[in-house]
Structure 1
Amino acid sequence: MDVSRRKFLTYVGTGMTALTVASTGLGALAPKVSAADKGRSSLFGYENRASRIDFEPIAPTTMDEIVLPDGYTYNVVAAYGDVINQRGDTFGFNCDFTMYLPIQGSQRGLLLVNHEYTNPLFVEGDVSKGYSPKQIESLLYNQGLAIIEVYQDPKTKEWKMDTTSKYARRISGLAPFEMVGPARGTAAVNGATTVQGTFANCSGGATLWGTVLSCEENWERTAGTAGLDTTHYGWVVEVDPFDKDDKYFKPRKHTALGRFHHENCAMGLSKDRRVVVYSGDDKRDACVYKYISKGKYNEAKGKENSKLLEDGTLYAADMAAGKWVALTIENVREAAKGKDNESALLNKFQTQADVLVNAHDAAILLGATPTDRPEDIEISPIDNTIFIAHTNNSNRGNFHGHITRFFEKNDDLGSLEFSFEIFAVGGTQSGFSAPDNLDFDRHGNLWTVTDISTSSLNKGAYEPFKNNGMFVIPTTGDKKGQAFQFASGPVESELTGPWWTPNQKTLFLSVQHPGEQTRDINNPTSMWPHRPGDTMPRPAVVAIKGF
């Protein structure tokens, strides 16, 4: 199946709308507004695009079920352990990011799914005496990526998995990856040019040339358990789901995008057609980053544009100054001068590869702003502003998080100056806590799922919110900035990775770690998805219908 970039952008849904606008100049077709009209009182400045809510919001609940508004239903598409192809590969654990890539419009396509981490109780078994080689293999296999083929049954309208697919496969912690970019083969990654596997895959993003980016987040536990080199993880990886044997597009890790706890990647274009990639570092007191390619995007080059992610500059946000700070070896070494630990810093940062491998330390040294767990970042499909979910930071008294909006100077993603505002704040006054993944619908509504830690759910400051859920926040009109709950997840779960079909009649969503606080496998705290024959809760991807 040869999916052209133009068809890819047309079909792939609102998750790619921003790329369409940025790369085709469709922004010129939008209504013209004055500078005053584009002020913060009206998010997009286009009142004729007023957001609207087409459902009756639900109330928080502690039910062990996905609870949706009246008129909406869901079905399980794939769950942990399900066979996905004729080779007998199985769906991994703790699914996160989902991305639908059309084969036949909104009726059949590939679904790429990230698998973030495992729970030994449900996957590897008893590891109290350490991991056996077989358990390490299971740990690595059940993380990474799953590529499955899905279709909507014309009779039942339910979404199903096609296990006869020639594309369906796993790209796990056991698969080979090429390292590309400035750190490839350097001492900073201990000379590596090819490394083993990807894991801790949280969210991701789409490229302009039809491939998928997947982000390695909390890699430390798996790398340590498996005895792997930690410098080989914490990167953004790129794969082509339609290259079924990885013949023409080798899975790769992009070192130019920096090594940190990547939540996701949001790609767009600067006004002069350089590729820009935003990413957040999901930990307390960590920074927001963007990468700008040196070369310019050329649609005719197709997947060769991937090389634009190998040569460019990584920046971190200094929110106090409203500037993007370049993470270059020259800047870092200059900043180290006069520090109490100058000698140690100069020894640590000797090459650009050292800066990229230790991106967080370099960013802080250069004065970038530590923030409250920057997770998902999305580019507005209307005006190129940047929305950032800051989940929370109890160290700084920010228990419920907030959503920040960046305004790049001159509406140019390639700008090195910006301003920002707090678009929405979590708490009982807004009804949501701990915003995580973000997405936009065709009405300009911002959708967010929440990530209250399972150890905190229904306790203390988090009690009013009940189970984690999904919320819709209008971005224009009289309800702008207000949150309306659309879904509630099963017990101790987290809803992740929302992605629409192109016609926006189906929303794919992952249900991660139901029953995570289970201590006795014979007495699980959740049994979702309540399938006949199941003896344990299972992370799964669902398809929500009724839109």
Structure 2
Amino acid sequence: MTTVEPPTTRTTLPLAAHAVGKRSAVTCQFKCANACLGPECNGSDNPTFRSIAELALSRRMLIGAAAAGAVVVATDAFGVLTPQAASAATTGGAVESHWGWNHHSLPFQPIAPVPASVDALTVPKGYTWSPIIRWGDPLFSDAPTFSLEGQSRAAQERQFGYNSDYLDILADRSGKTGVLVNNHEYVNPNIMFPPSTDAAELRRRGEVFKAAQGMSVVEITRRRRGTPWRYVVDGRRNRRITVETVFELTGPAAGSDLVKTAADPEGRWVHGTLGNCSGGTTPWGTILSGEENFNGYFAWAADTAGQKRYQASASRTTSTGWEAYDPRFNSFDPGYVNEPNRFGYIVEIDPDDPTSTPKKHTAMGRFKHEGANVIVAEDRRVVAYMGDDERNDYLYKFVSKNRISSSRKKNMSLLSEGDLYVARFRGDSPTSQIDGSGKLPSDGAFDGTGEWIALTRHGKSVVPGMTIDEVLVYTRLAADKMGATKMDRPEDVQPSLRTGKIYVALTNNSDRGKTSMVDEANPRTGNRFGHVLEITERHGQAGTSFGWSILLQCGNPSDPSTYFAGYPKDKVSPISCPDNLAFDEDGNLWISTDGAPSTIGFNDGLFRVPLTGRERGHVEQFLAVPREAETCGPVIHAREQLVFVAVQHPGENGTVAAPTSLFPDYGSTRRGDIPNAPRPSVVQVYRS
């Protein structure tokens, strides 16, 4: 095997001409099938909690009711621990960062906001960056070197995939070897291929798109701890997972008539995974991936309540064109009407075994999963928190039936059985004080209580009129029936392994106040900038009641509707559209964004937010991604002063002939004076 050195490291490039950018319509088309332009999927008349806010409970009853002492099991069967898990295992419960309120293992001077016209990855003074791996880099020695003109399905199946999203960097015990795992959410055909109307060529490209999506597992190595990583060609664990990889359905809906197709009459084996957005890493060393905008890959009939709840209107064509030649992507075909029901799950893969069969866990529900993040409850059951990323959809959690053990093999079945819950929120302020302006109520906080409403219990449905397989295949309909609270696009949901508190990124909802009323958990009309919730479980992670408050109301600090946990607004960085969340070893929250160019006019970025002491709410920007790119999958190894992000869809507005970004190989060419294509990449940032 051979190792591949990162390209020449790069410091911040000079600023280009400044202009306010807009998120391109291509993201809406390719990523989520123009979900925001069509009719809303959630047509339920669920009350927002404004109508029951007068049940307000005293906020003081909930303060201090964190899930203190939450057990964190750190198995070494795989020899892999995230820094967060290791830190929590040694601190042993609900504690504040031992560094105190003003000490950080990863010191930096916050960068200024970067105008949306700038095509540079901008990092703090004293830091530099380099890509570890880029779209098209070969994972195996029999794979060709990347060539924009030479793309093929066979090549892409052996190369690193496109549009990187969820990321984790898992070091082995030595700290000098490890594995990188990355999701590949979707493709941008306009910057992968020149325009064409030839049917044969479009079909050939469609096969490339199948191979470019899914996931990559790549071995990595370095000289010593704290130094940059490089990836390994022909690594033992190297693997590509694509739209053709076979997955096993697990849980109560496996084998149901709702998931059987002409190609799989047993309803237990699914080819491929789609729309892989964020994810999570389990305490036993496996990777979870959320299948998000799966509906956009199918010719969609939308002629049943179940179908309409995932895509409100019919569509006979897709951006990939697969439905034209692959019948399983044509749900109008009677033999494949159930094929969409086989997507929209949490996927689990074993990065240590490239021959293993990945699983789709039906017990965790089917919706547009942003991801899933696991914590171990006091009774040693595992709890996964999940967001359904669409306007006015819901927040969920899953509690396993069985308990974590020292057997990695047994732990890998924990997510196949358990109880599924959906959240209902209540505010503690008078209705008249929640007016949609974002102004704080008289008690000085948007906060209240909530409950986890069971959808399944002990392997059975608790939703009137729905069977267990109906609940797990049409989870949105089940949550509608049980009166869940409509939220402003719940994306990443991260439990703090130090305190047991849960943090929810609510990216935005321009329809708040139109198709859903404002309420104390979603208090701004036309919420373009998003917010972050902090949840405290009242009776431990497996309990059914919680307290909550809004940590951040995002936007430009000059906007009177913004709020930064009480921290002075004149000292924080502007932040908009929170998407992915992560923690460092000191207990700080890190937030990556998706949508800042179209809302506050700056490139998306990565931000640190302390959660305790006098710095609570002090938002500081660490980096900004290049123009038209999204910041994904942050991984923070603070004590090694290493930060990792996945840079998705750089230059999404461009074309092959006229790219709008040259990230990450600035200045290089592929033929004569034709610039190279932008390449989604995994990037590491480290001290110069």
- 1:150 deviates by 1.4
Rate the CA distance shift 1:160–1:48 in 2: closer, same or farther, 3 A: closer
CA distance in 2, matches of 1:193, 1:502: 42
Is the aligned partner of 1:232 residue 2:338? no
CA distance in 1, matches of 2:476, 2:641: 40
Corresponding residue of 1:34: none
Give the letter aligned to residue 319 of structure 1: F
CA distance in 1, matches of 2:604, 2:625: 6
Corresponding residue of 2:92: 27
Report the secondary structure of 2:253's partner residue: coil
Corresponding residue of 1:545: 686
CA distance in 2, matches of 1:486, 1:16: 23
State which of 452, 458, 466 in structure 1 corresponds to 2:595: 452
Corresponding residue of 1:97: 166
Asked if the contact 2:370/2:386 (under 8 Å) is kept, the reply is: yes
Asked if the contact 1:505/1:545 (under 8 Å) is kept, the reply is: yes
Q: Tell which deviates more after alignment, 376-385 or 127-136.
A: 127-136
Corresponding residue of 1:261: 368
State which of 371, 386, 404 in structure 2 corresponds to 1:297: 404
Report the secondary structure of 1:414's partner residue: coil
Give the letter aligned to residue 259 of structure 1: R
- 1:533 deviates by 3.3
Asked if the contact 2:191/2:659 (under 8 Å) is kept, the reply is: no
Is the aligned partner of 1:497 residue 2:633? yes
Give the letter aligned to residue 633 of structure 2: G
- 1:189 deviates by 1.2
Asked if the contact 1:11/1:105 (under 8 Å) is kept, the reply is: no
State which of 484, 500, 515 in structure 2 corresponds to 1:384: 500
Corresponding residue of 1:331: 462
Asked if the contact 2:366/2:474 (under 8 Å) is kept, the reply is: yes
Is the aligned partner of 1:203 residue 2:268? no
State which of 45, 58, 77 in structure 1 corresponds to 2:111: 58
- 1:106 deviates by 3.2
Corresponding residue of 1:340: none
- 1:158 deviates by 3.9
- 1:175 deviates by 0.5
Cα-to-partner distance string for 1:27-81 (whole Å, 9 max, x where unaligned): 25x66xxxxxxxxxxxx4x686325452111111132111011111111111111
Is the aligned partner of 1:375 residue 2:496? no
Corresponding residue of 1:40: none
Give the letter aligned to residue 445 of structure 1: N
Is the aligned partner of 1:276 residue 2:392? no
Give the letter aligned to residue 544 of structure 1: V
Corresponding residue of 1:111: 180
Give the letter aligned to residue 226 of structure 1: W
Q: Tell which deviates more after alignment, 252-261 or 115-124.
A: 115-124
State which of 534, 546, 560 in structure 2 corresponds to 1:405: 534
Report the secondary structure of 1:360's partner residue: helix
- 1:132 deviates by 4.1
CA distance in 1, matches of 2:579, 2:86: 20
Asked if the contact 2:193/2:656 (under 8 Å) is kept, the reply is: no
Rate the CA distance shift 1:331–1:544 in 2: closer, same or farther, 3 A: same
Report the secondary structure of 2:182's partner residue: strand
Give the letter aligned to residue 219 of structure 1: F
Report the secondary structure of 1:332's partner residue: coil
- 1:91 deviates by 0.8
Report the secondary structure of 1:165's partner residue: coil
After superposition, residues 456-495 of structure 1 pair within 5 angstroms as: 457=597, 459=598, 461-463=599-601, 466-495=602-631
Rate the CA distance shift 1:495–1:146 in 2: closer, same or farther, 3 A: same
Asked if the contact 1:274/1:297 (under 8 Å) is kept, the reply is: yes
Report the secondary structure of 2:640's partner residue: coil
Asked if the contact 2:584/2:637 (under 8 Å) is kept, the reply is: no
Is the aligned partner of 1:357 residue 2:473? yes
CA distance in 1, matches of 2:98, 2:640: 22
Asked if the contact 2:84/2:585 (under 8 Å) is kept, the reply is: no
Cα-to-partner distance string for 1:202-221 (whole Å, 9 max, x where unaligned): 11111122211111111122
CA distance in 2, matches of 1:125, 1:172: 23
Corresponding residue of 1:313: 419
User: What is the percent sequence identity of the aligned residues?
Assistant: 36
Corresponding residue of 1:417: 545
Asked if the contact 1:235/1:254 (under 8 Å) is kept, the reply is: yes
Give the letter aligned to residue 419 of structure 2: T
CA distance in 2, matches of 1:256, 1:127: 43
Corresponding residue of 1:343: none
CA distance in 1, matches of 2:404, 2:224: 39
State which of 320, 345, 351 in structure 2 corresponds to 1:241: 351
- 1:309 deviates by 1.2
Rate the CA distance shift 1:383–1:393 in 2: closer, same or farther, 3 A: same
Rate the CA distance shift 1:47–1:92 in 2: closer, same or farther, 3 A: closer
Give the letter aligned to residue 616 of structure 2: K
- 1:297 deviates by 1.6
Asked if the contact 1:12/1:100 (under 8 Å) is kept, the reply is: no
Give the letter aligned to residue 66 of structure 1: L
CA distance in 2, matches of 1:326, 1:113: 32
Give the letter aligned to residue 274 of structure 1: R
Rate the CA distance shift 1:154–1:408 in 2: closer, same or farther, 3 A: closer
Given the two structures, how large is their TM-score scaled by the length of structure 2? 0.69
Corresponding residue of 1:341: none
Give the letter aligned to residue 147 of structure 1: V
- 1:152 deviates by 2.3
Rate the CA distance shift 1:65–1:106 in 2: closer, same or farther, 3 A: farther
CA distance in 2, matches of 1:472, 1:502: 11
Corresponding residue of 2:19: none
Corresponding residue of 1:512: 648
CA distance in 1, matches of 2:622, 2:391: 28
Structure of higher CA gyration radius: 2
CA distance in 2, matches of 1:437, 1:512: 13
Q: Runs of 5+ in structure 2 lacking a partner?
A: 1-72, 144-157, 261-265, 300-320, 324-328, 330-338, 427-448, 513-525, 558-571, 671-675
Cα-to-partner distance string for 1:211-259 (whole Å, 9 max, x where unaligned): 111111111223444343111111111111111222xxx2110000011
Rate the CA distance shift 1:354–1:220 in 2: closer, same or farther, 3 A: same
Rate the CA distance shift 1:238–1:161 in 2: closer, same or farther, 3 A: same
After superposition, residues 180-191 of structure 1 pair within 5 angstroms as: 180-190=250-260, 191=266
Report the secondary structure of 1:139's partner residue: helix
CA distance in 1, matches of 2:556, 2:462: 43
Asked if the contact 2:179/2:217 (under 8 Å) is kept, the reply is: yes
- 1:379 deviates by 0.9
Q: Runs of 5+ in structure 1 lacking a partner?
A: 32-43, 334-345
Report the secondary structure of 1:141's partner residue: helix
Is the aligned partner of 1:159 residue 2:229? yes
What's the C-alpha RMSD, in Å, of the aligned pairs? 2.5
Is the aligned partner of 1:219 residue 2:294? yes
Rate the CA distance shift 1:47–1:113 in 2: closer, same or farther, 3 A: closer
CA distance in 1, matches of 2:77, 2:127: 27
CA distance in 1, matches of 2:640, 2:408: 27
Corresponding residue of 1:521: 656
Rate the CA distance shift 1:526–1:311 in 2: closer, same or farther, 3 A: same
Rate the CA distance shift 1:372–1:357 in 2: closer, same or farther, 3 A: same
- 1:508 deviates by 1.9
- 1:331 deviates by 3.3
Corresponding residue of 1:141: 211
- 1:125 deviates by 5.3
Asked if the contact 1:51/1:445 (under 8 Å) is kept, the reply is: no
Corresponding residue of 2:100: 49
State which of 78, 81, 89 in structure 1 corresponds to 2:136: 81
